[in-house]
Structure 1
Amino acid sequence: MATSTTDSLVWKIGETAGKVWHVLKDGDKMSMTRLIRSVDAPRDLVLQAIGWLAREEKIEIEQSSKGRYVWLR
């Protein structure tokens, strides 16, 4: 059973996912660190939003020796 607190958190994650998408829409691959710093939201919320977008297959995530990179599909 969903509560208003849960609904509010899900809404915030979705809203932050939109912010992440907008940051990524004009560019190529972006480091996870730079992306987190570019979005005006708490780090944990940005990471949840990235997970949301990954689950919806809207972004790609790559692990390299230099770190993780994210870009739109």
Structure 2
Amino acid sequence: MKALTIAENAGRIWRVLEETYTITSTQMMKRLELDDVAMFAAIGWLAREKKIFCCENRGECYISNKRPLDFFSFG
């Protein structure tokens, strides 16, 4: 698989969130075939732009492009 830039991976993550609204980090890594470094770098990019929200539930990180009540923003 071709190595993509952080921005390209951020775009891929954003497109998945447009379809699914909320997804776990594990599901996202599997769906996009990303390792944890590539995925969390892209999430950091989106967080810096204040485009995503996260929450932790039962040890799993959930990410969303909409802000549910129990999610937090990085900015």
TM-score by length of 2: 0.72
Task: Determine helix, strand or coil for the equivalent of 1:68.
Answer: strand
1:58 aligns with 2:58: no
Aligned residues: 63
Structure 1 residues 67 and 42: CA distance shift in structure 2, 3 A: closer
Question: CA offset at residue 37 of structure 1?
Answer: 1.0
Pick one of 32, 51, 58 that aligns with 1:39. Answer: 32
**SS of the residue aligned with 2:15?**
helix
Measured after TM superposition, the shift of residue 56 of structure 1 is 0.8
For residues 18-50 of structure 1, the C-alpha deviation after alignment (integer angstroms, 9 at most, x for no partner) is 011111111131111001111144331111001
Q: Which runs of 5+ in 2 are unaligned?
A: 67-75
In structure 1, what is the Cα distance between the partners aligned to 2:47 and 2:40?
10
- Alignment CA distance shift 1:33-1:15 (3 Å): same
* Distance in 1, Cα, partners of 2:47 & 2:22: 14
State the superposition RMSD in angstroms: 1.7
Specify every segment of 5 or more residues in structure 1 that has no aligned partner in the other structure, as ranges: 1-10
Moved more, 38-47 or 26-35: 38-47
